[in-house]
Amino acid sequence: MKTGQYNHSAHLVAIDCIILGYENTELKLLLFNRKIEPAKGGWSLVGGWVEPDESVETAARRVTYKISGLKEVYLEQVHVFSEPQRDPGGRVISVAFYALMPIDKHDRELVESHGAKWFSLNELPELIFDHQEMLNMALEKLRLKASFELIGRSLLPEKFTLLQIRQLYNAIYQKEFDPGNFRKKILSIKVLEKLTSKNTSESRKGAFNYRFKKVLPPYRVNALVKY
């Protein structure tokens, strides 16, 4: 197949979205059961084709909105996967993005209508093609970002405790952080606002709620956490 004035074969371009959510202290991945060959019936990342009038970013936002009903989703490009034999169905170049999505706010019925399901990172099924490689690279990029920048705005409720944000980091890195050191480091960068309300589900005395400041002050840390 030729395209335009260029005398060269055209390739199919796809996007694959590593959609990550957080629920019950677990980081989860949204997968759907593939309905077409090749690999029909296998578990796949959420993806689709890039239309002729779209950028890859626009396509990624269209796909995440179509499956979740959410327009404001954090997206970051991970990598371009272009091995000639990566997709048995043909010559497909895929641009992978990771997305951070609040599970409690997305449209669960819409997700289910697409045959999609949330899986804990500790209980993932085998993924088709090179999707496991995409996931691994996305997690590495997320962990690198979280080591220099306090994340959670896209995954936590508006109000949260320091325990809840530490539990999020435990889930992202799949390790336990020391409570005292974590608290000291997080508060030192001054991006959180302490509220007067308390969460009483964590202890009888209750723990103060925090939220991200609307305008974050410029900050840079050598390492927020080590991994």
Chain segment 172-219, per-residue pLDDT in tens: 999 999 999 999 999 988 899 999 999 988 777 889 999 999 877 666
- How far apart CA 30 and CA 159 sit, in angstroms, is 24
Q: Which residues contact 121 (CB under 8 A, 6 or more apart)?
A: 26, 27, 28, 29, 139, 171, 174
Please check whether residues 165 and 222 belong to one and the same domain.
yes
Note whether 24 and 127 are same-domain residues: yes
Residue 86 above 90 pLDDT?
yes
Q: Is residue 225's pLDDT more than 90? A: no
Q: Which of 131, 147, 163 delimits the end of a domain?
A: 147
Same domain for 12 and 97, yes or no, is yes
Whether residue 175 sits in one domain with residue 123 = no
Q: Residue 190 maps to which CATH number?
A: 1.10.10.10
Q: What is the structure's pLDDT at 197?
A: 94
Indicate the pLDDT class of residue 49, thresholds 50, 70 and 90.
very high
Can you tell me which residue has the tokens 């609307």?
A: 214
Q: Does 6 lie in the same domain as 65?
A: yes
Is 154 found in the same domain as 143?
no
In a shared domain, residues 66 and 174: no
Domain boundary among 147, 163, 193: 147
**Can you give the length of the chain in residues?**
227
Average pLDDT over residues 109-126: 94
What percent of the chain is modeled with pLDDT above 90? 78
Task: Give the pLDDT mean for 36-64.
Answer: 96
The domain tally of the chain equals: 2
Token pair listed for 177: 């952080």
DSSP letter assigned to residue 123: G
Distance CA 70, CA 21 (A): 13
pLDDT of residue 182: 94
pLDDT for position 1 = 52
Q: Same domain, yes or no, for 198 and 216?
A: yes
Pair 141, 175 in one domain: no
Both 205 and 126 in a single domain? no
Burial of residue 67 (number of CB atoms within 10 Å: 0-12, 13-18, 19+): buried
Whole domain around residue 214: which residue ranges? 149-227
**Taking a C-beta distance cutoff of 8 angstroms, is the pair 177, 190 a contact?**
no
Same domain, 120 and 203: no
